[in-house]
Amino acid sequence: MTATSNPAHRVCHFIVGSTALRPGWFLALCSLWLVYLPAASAVELSGQVDVRALREVGERSWIREGMGKTRYGGGSQVRLGQAILAAELELGDAVTAVAVINAYEDRDQLLDVQEAWLGWNPVPVSQWKVRVKAGLFFPPLNQEQDYDQRTWLPARTISASAVNSWVGEELRSKGIEANLAYRGRASGSPHDLGATAAAFNGNDPAGTLLAWRGWGVGDRITGVSESIRLADLPVYRADGPINLQTRDTQLFRELDGRAGYYVGVNYSYAGIVEVSAMHYDNRGDPLIVKAGQYSWGTRFNHAGMRLRTGQWEWMFQYLTGATAMGPRAAALDFRAWYALASRRVGAGTLTVRHDRFRAIEDDVIATDPNGERGSALAIAYKLDLSDALSVVSEVLLLRSERPARALIGETPDQASRSITTSLRWRF
């Protein structure tokens, strides 16, 4: 196969040529792909296309400059929910290059990069296994996705939990991550252990959405070069107390030159129970502001559990932390959790998920209320039509109270509900 006929070559040129992407790390990765393509032994393409019909009743969506918790905000629609393409290229026996792009109708730029990284994954010679990756990637805490999928989307439902919705919207690591795992089952033991550590930059504005939009429940993943337009709140208008902040926020910028980090551990027993914990800190300097973007000091602790009992699968995730910008001009403590139960019912899988989320304001600007509390219930049924094609239907009920809604002429206490059916093609 020649370089010009290789699928990865075409994907790389398509991304660069069809979008306004100019991040140096992505162009460097593409260049590395093209250098190694003639010697590459294999390239694998995978992804997901999701077309959905929905009926939603609720407030104006945050995607349309509102404070709605859901993605669409209202009305009956037929939409392209997701279009995600992942390309994985083998550069050697233990080295791979991975790039993931997504396409959304509800943004100015149709295509954008979701992840792009180089991985080193050598064949283990004992029970111990080492993996390293460098580039742009998610912190590894999403339990709702399938293990073998690059899409990062929930596997059993249409919407993700509030915890994982926020991670998909606001968090991305540009750095290096190392994982050390003890594979007990390789030696006949039911115990597996793992530890992960990462250093990263480029996520200084993380916390912006939590403070000025609040928690969300959806499945939209922010592209790395995407700009999110916030609701028209008085606090960052020209005559407001934080007028250096613009309404257009770019969530994956590096502003203060300080590296962040996360560390995590995980344990599993015989594939029956899995538990994990993580500490995350972007080490943002809240006094730094550049080109209308503040650096936020954002840190959190996360715990998760997955349990399989008979035909049932149970999941639980809990996240609690704090974020602040300026001299406590905006600051809040936040927490969210969900419990999920799933089992086979008839020919498909029934899943029920309950979310709770809260933000507690702890800043000095009384005219900019950032607190909220809310809950959500999702009931979904997934039917696999083939290995590649499935249908998922979901009812989502959500209620939240956020005083800041009154600043844009909306009622603080809002309820949303939606019925969505999604046709998914995975390849």
More confident residue, 412 or 31: 412
**pLDDT greater than 90 at residue 54:** yes
pLDDT for 85-129, tens place per residue? Answer: 999 999 988 999 999 999 998 888 889 999 999 999 999 888 999
What is the arithmetic mean of pLDDT over 283-289?
A: 96
Instruction: Compare 168 and 24 and report the one with higher pLDDT.
Output: 168
Tell me the three state secondary structure of residue 22: coil
pLDDT band, very low/low/confident/very high, at 18 (cuts 50, 70, 90) = very low
Which pLDDT band, with edges at 50, 70 and 90, does 187 fall under? confident
> What pLDDT sits at residue 108?
82
Conformational region of residue 177, where left means phi above 0, alpha means psi within -120 to 50, and beta covers everything else: beta
pTM for the whole structure: 0.89
- At position 292, the amino acid (one-letter code) is G
pLDDT at 92: 86
pLDDT in the model for residue 307: 97
Q: What's the pLDDT score for residue 150?
A: 82
pLDDT at 19: 36
> What single string gives the DSSP state of each residue in 143-186?
-SS-TT-SS---SS-SSPPHHHHHHHHH--EEEEEEEEEEEGGG
> CA 111, CA 84: separation in Å to the nearest integer?
9
User: Is the pLDDT score of 26 beyond 50?
Assistant: no
Q: How many CB atoms lie within 10 A of CB 259?
A: 14
User: What's the pLDDT at 3?
Assistant: 39
Of the two residues 26 and 149, the one the predictor is more confident about is: 149
Q: Is the confidence at residue 13, as pLDDT, over 80? A: no
- How far is the first Cα of the chain from the last one, in angstroms, to the nearest whole number? 22
Joined tokens for residue 128: 């111990």
Tell me which DSSP letter residue 61 carries: B
Distance CA 65, CA 408 (A): 10
